[in-house]
Amino acid sequence: MRRVEQPGPPTPERIQWVEARGRAFAFTLPAGVPLLEAARRGFAEVGFTGGTLNIKSGALGPFAYVMPALSKTGENAAFYSDIFRPSGFTRLKTATMTFGARDSAPFFHCHGLWTEAGGRINGGHILPEETMIAETFEAEAFGIDGAVFAAEPDPETNFKLFGPVANATTGVRQPCRAFALRLRPNQDFAGALETFCRQHGVFRARIHGGVGSTIGARFTDGRSVVPFATELLIRSGAIAPGANGLLEAELDVALVDYLGGLAEGRLLRGDNPVLMTMELVIEVVKEGGTT
């Protein structure tokens, strides 16, 4: 399996996780409001401080983003490009967000694909501090109670990354058992999720959110992405028994690589290692025995 050496030593626990409760809901993100503030309001209105957001369309402007890039200093295995600020309205095709906290303030990690005002189709990492909602749109969310994604220094990658940490519950009983996860580098994306579910008695699950990076990509239809640094999002995902009765993760994704290439499709199980991180929420649909 492909591998990229990170600047720091690997943490023994390769999946950072917290069990929580939660539920799915939808809300409106109003025009004229910063995307970060609109997300905060949407979660707060139903009593959550964080969770995930899946966006199928929408218009942003002003808008700022970065793309994956090679590291210029060697202090990281890969890095970010300079900031891009396209003029006019940028129209989202798809975007996935992890909403949580950084330095004790609301923050998000969001990757997407979009079309810029001049017609350029692009993708990358949306910057919370400089992005406004240009036209009102709807989004699907999953709120978590008892856990929150918090940005903390990660010695292995030498980045400050979102990961789940335990958080005080609201006291309101949420209907769904869930796990907030962060996958660490150099493990197969699907395989890590399948193993986690087997170990925690999860027989069927839905995936909410899904923001991170893989070392290139291999798809079930035979296509591949060779450039090693990507910004990836999950458009939809589930974990369920396959034809042989063993758990299989189906991961439909979109990504941009550091050369500007775009790709969408279903990832091939067993051949898509995580580059830096992958954060997501698993909603337990059916419980089963552990192995």
Asked if the structure places residue 150 within a domain, the reply is no
Q: Kindly report, residue by residue over 45-55, the tens digit of the pLDDT.
A: 999 999 999 99
Say if pTM beats, i.e. exceeds, 0.95.
yes
DSSP-based three-state secondary structure for 197: helix
Spatial contact of 39 and 105, defined as CB atoms under 8 Å apart: no
Asked if the structure places residue 155 within a domain, the reply is no
Backbone φ, ψ for residue 51 (5° rounding): 160, -145
Same domain, 271 and 179: yes
Confidence check: pLDDT of 274 > 70:
yes
Asked if the structure places residue 3 within a domain, the reply is no
Same domain, 181 and 79: no
Number of domains in the chain: 2
Same domain, 54 and 101: yes
The pLDDT assigned to 290 comes to: 47
* pLDDT interval class at 239 (50, 70, 90): very high
Spatial contact of 55 and 112, defined as CB atoms under 8 Å apart: yes
Spatial contact of 57 and 216, defined as CB atoms under 8 Å apart: no
* pLDDT interval class at 289 (50, 70, 90): low
Q: Which residues pair with 94 in a beta bridge?
A: 113
Q: Kindly report, residue by residue over 149-159, the tens digit of the pLDDT.
A: 999 999 999 99
Q: Kindly report, residue by residue over 25-63, the tens digit of the pLDDT.
A: 999 999 999 999 999 999 999 999 999 999 999 999 999
With b for 16 or more beta-carbon neighbours within 10 A and e for fewer, the 249-269 pattern comes to bbbbbbbbbbeeeebbbebbb
Q: Kindly report, residue by residue over 109-151, the tens digit of the pLDDT.
A: 999 999 999 999 999 999 999 999 999 999 999 999 999 999 9
Asked if the structure places residue 280 within a domain, the reply is yes
Q: Which residues pair with 283 in a beta bridge?
A: 178, 206
Closest CA to 31 of 59, 52, 54, 55: 59
Token couple for 230 = 């990507």
Mean pLDDT of the residues in the chain: 97
Only one residue has tokens 């941009």, namely: 256
Give the Cα separation of 267 and 6 in Å (integer): 23
Q: Tell me, what DSSP letter sits at residue 128?
A: G
DSSP-based three-state secondary structure for 199: helix
Asked if the structure places residue 8 within a domain, the reply is no
Spatial contact of 53 and 96, defined as CB atoms under 8 Å apart: yes
Share of the chain above pLDDT 90, in %: 97
* pLDDT interval class at 275 (50, 70, 90): very high
End-to-end Cα separation, the chain, in angstroms: 24
Same domain, 277 and 198: yes
Asked if the structure places residue 79 within a domain, the reply is yes
Q: Kindly report, residue by residue over 72-112, the tens digit of the pLDDT.
A: 999 999 999 999 999 999 999 999 999 999 999 999 999 99
Q: Which residues pair with 247 in a beta bridge?
A: 241
* pLDDT interval class at 291 (50, 70, 90): very low
- Average pLDDT of the residues in 150-175: 96
Asked if the structure places residue 227 within a domain, the reply is yes
Same domain, 206 and 132: no
> Which stretches does DSSP call E strand in 103-246?
105-115, 121-126, 133-135, 137-145, 147-154, 159-166, 176-183, 202-218, 224-241
Asked if the structure places residue 193 within a domain, the reply is yes
Same domain, 182 and 267: yes
Give the Cα separation of 209 and 226 in Å (integer): 25
* pLDDT interval class at 1 (50, 70, 90): confident
Same domain, 132 and 232: no
- CATH code: domain of residue 193: 3.30.1330.80
Which residues constitute the domain of residue 84? Answer: 21-144
Same domain, 25 and 135: yes
Token couple for 8 = 């720091």
The pLDDT assigned to 184 comes to: 98
In a 10 Å sphere around its CB, with 0-12 CB exposed, 13-18 middle and 19+ buried, how is residue 72 labelled?
A: exposed
